[in-house]
Structure 1
Amino acid sequence: MSTAPAASANENRRTQTEMRLGMQGQAGLSQPFLILLLSAAAIASLGLMTNNQSVVVGAMIIAPLMNPIQSFAFALAIDDYRLMRRSLLTLAFGVIATISTACLLNLATPYDLVDSEIISRTHPSLLDLLIALFAGVAGAYASIRKDIPNSIAGVAIAVALVPPLCVAGIALGTSGEVVTAFGIGQLNRWQILSGGFLLFLSNLVGICVASFTIYISYGFGSWKSLLKRLALLLVGVIVISWPLRITGRNEVASRTVSEQLQRIRQRYPNVTEQSQIRLVSVNVKGDQAHVTVLANAPDNVIADDYLDTLQQGLFQALRPLNVNRMNLTLRLNHARVHRLSIQ
């Protein structure tokens, strides 16, 4: 009786021959791949430009960009250089096609205003790498099992791939500077492009590493293959982790400032009643922090003592993050600006 579940599990697993044939099909540059990818890129780009999250999610569902990534990870595991090369060519074409589609759509608009759906994909952190690792595990496991539809894992993986590339393409199609819809000011298009592409690269590395490990652990290839590729995988993780660590520090600083800001506001009931915080942005470089707070509030509510308390309180909250200097910009109703500095 104890062997029945094991036998059933083995029946639901694909053999290496089945896996190889399936991955060869996924690695190819086919008409369905092109149509689905270009459609997903167009839908995601329009969803990002109109700040419509549900439209972006719709693009994630049909995007096939995870196919060549999975086949590349499988090729690494079984040392199939021909499949590896074919997968990389398809992936490279998919990346270029997605970015180009987003760029052309933005040029046709034209569109120089970015909103939260775009900005949220320009500050990746190590948490995004962890998400990609687990998405890679789910995708690789589903590709091995016959009883799990590939589309389930495909949605999870596509979430991490197409929208960031579209963000990079939209940035390429803008003018030198773009204006944020929520009033933080202007951003250089290269900031948006690099942030979106960094998110894509972090998810690409995470999915590849996780998928490769799952394929090896399920007997596709050998542990010798793992040792041969270990250096390459480690280099990829280390290289991508460094910039993610920097952006992750900014995320921690933003949360710290937001929490301290709420505590300060509670001490000033008149400010709390007549104002609303719309955005908090923190950029830490070395020991200096650049803090931007956007709020809806009448200017006569913001007194000098409140500004002094705000400046000192936020600075003290950032000190544990090795911040010794701080520039604070408080924007009110997209017009009135208070600039404070601690050196």
Structure 2
Amino acid sequence: MNENNEETQRLGLGAQIYQFFSGIFSLGPVNYAQSIEDVKADVSFKGFNIWILICSILIASLGLNMNSTAVVIGAMLISPLMGPIVGLGLGIGIYDRKLIFKSIKNIGVASIISLATAFVFFKITPTEEVPELLARTRPTLLDLFVAFFGGIAGILAAAKCIKTNVVPGVAIATALMPPLCTAGFGLAVGNWDYFFNASYLYVMNCIMISVAAVIVVLVLRYPKFSYVDTYRRNKNRAGILIIVTIVSIPSIIFYSNLLNQNLQEDRIETFVEKEIASYPGIYITNQKVLKVGDTSILHLNINGQFLEKDDIKTLENKMVDYKVYNGKLEISQPQPVGFKEQRLASLKTDIISELYQNSALKLENKDDEIELLKSEIQKLSNSLNNSTIASNRLIALAKSQYNINQMAADILVYSQNGK
């Protein structure tokens, strides 16, 4: 009997705990009609909303130009862009075609006006590539999650029909205005990488906010505006999943590259601490890492002991031990006292050595030429001696031939006289 009472008490305690947490996390009753009307009222972009949007874009552009985070946040607070984006998600969730097309049209109008305003502003205003601008040119997976959870918070606030700090907070978190301004900046300066990356961030934010709104609308079981059969419902959900996947892929790639870059920088930092900062007599005054293609260039300004080229090369080869592949080490350091004199003396020695080597080479070449000439002279001499001997023989032969002829002539004369 006691065991049954204890089991009942345990079940009662479990039910109480479940009831407690259910009460905490329960979304409670939703005023569907009122929340739908509130969202629809914020979808339209005309009159005051257009001028508020233009002012918001100009403020955001000024903030980016000044590299002022506070000014950019102020621009996001007054931006009315969230209205049609949440309206698009609501329209998809309740299958309201009219609301869907109206939201898409107003998002397009707002985007074009914002781009045109930012383009004109940056076209007539000199602007450098400040960090606030560059931050919108590298969208990552983290930005996707920010937009998604921001969209959930926004539609929950709309479902509860409350106008608290939720909507301004969502506007700041999702940061719709800065990407539009950065895209306008890219158009103004002709930098297409900036334009496409910032535009991608803006489109990704819009899609993820709308998808979050769709999910919340389905979870809260909003009444459907029109009947949709199971086939079309599944088809719509598959389409949403495909769009989210396509939009997510570039952000995943960007995020992966960012992680690899951070990991590379951490390895470089470890290399600097263990190999250079601990080097006897070395003091690092400045350090920066440059990325050129696949090569990470570590540039250091140092004081203290002077590092020779061989020392720097040895340190550079050690970067591989810290898994810093394709790394290059560049060091700027003051020249030691008397370095110029030593350098001049070294140059003189090198020049004298080079002149000596050239002279020795020339002398060696001259000796070869002399030997060659001697050989040619000897050949000519031998040839001349042979020619002299042959000439003497010819002369002797000629002389002997002459004597024979003379003797024949004398004999002939004598014989005639004798007769």
What's 1:215 paired with? 217
Task: Output the TM-score relative to the length of structure 2.
Answer: 0.64
CA–CA separation in structure 2 for the residues paired with 1:102 and 1:130: 26
Query: Which residue in 2 is equivalent to 1:200?
Result: 202
Change (3 A) 1:9 1:242: closer
Q: 1:149 aligns with which of 163, 179, 196?
A: 163
- In structure 2, runs of 5+ residues without a counterpart are 1-18, 334-419
Q: Return the offset for 1:28.
A: 1.1
Q: For residue 274 of structure 1, what is the aligned residue in structure 2?
A: 284
Q: Is the helix fraction higher in 1 or 2?
A: 2
Q: 2:187 aligns with which of 165, 168, 172?
A: 172
- Partners of 1:274 and 1:136 in 2: CA distance: 47
Give RMSD over aligned pairs. Answer: 3.3
Which structure has the larger Rg?
2
Q: Is the 8 A contact 2:53 2:79 kept in 1?
A: yes
Q: Evaluate the alpha carbon distance shift between residue 281 and residue 314 of structure 1 in structure 2; reply closer, same or farther with a 3 A threshold.
A: farther
Deviation at 1:329, TM superposition (A): 8.7
| Code of the aligned partner of 1:208 | S
Q: 2:117 maps to which residue?
A: 101
Deviation at 1:231, TM superposition (A): 1.7
Distance 2:332 2:53 in 1: 42
Distance 1:109 1:144, change over 3 A: same
Higher strand share: 1
Question: Would the aligned equivalents of 2:79 and 2:171 in 1 still touch at CA under 8 Å?
Answer: no
Find the aligned partners of 1:301 and 1:46 in 2 and give their Cα distance.
Answer: 47
Evaluate the alpha carbon distance shift between residue 50 and residue 85 of structure 1 in structure 2; reply closer, same or farther with a 3 A threshold.
same
Q: Which residue is equivalent to 1:163?
A: 178
The equivalent position to 1:291 in structure 2, one of 291, 296, 312, is: 296
Give the TM-score of the pair, scaled to structure 1: 0.77
For the residues of structure 1 that align with 2:252 and 2:74, how far apart are their CA atoms?
30
8 Å Cα contact 1:265-1:272 kept in structure 2: no
User: Does the aligned pair in 1 maintain the 2:298–2:327 contact within 8 Å?
Assistant: no
Q: Which amino acid aligns with 2:241?
A: L
Shift of 1:156: 1.9
Counterpart amino acid of residue 74 in structure 2: G
* Residue matched to 2:16: none
**Counterpart AA for 2:157:** A
Describe the shift of the 1:36–1:274 C-alpha distance in structure 2 as closer, same or farther (beyond 3 A): same
1:249 aligned partner: 256
| Letter aligned with residue 243 of structure 2 | G
Q: Distance in 1 between matches of 2:292 and 2:198?
A: 18
| Aligned residues between the structures | 302
Shift of 1:26: 1.5
Quote the offset at 1:33 in angstroms: 1.4
- 2: distance between equivalents of 1:251 and 1:315? 22
User: Corresponding residue for 1:72?
Assistant: 88
Show CA shifts across 1:24-71 (max 9, x none).
Answer: 211112322112211111111111122111111111111111110000
Q: Which runs of 5+ in 1 are unaligned?
A: 177-188, 284-288, 320-325, 334-343
Residues 1:45 and 2:50 aligned together = no
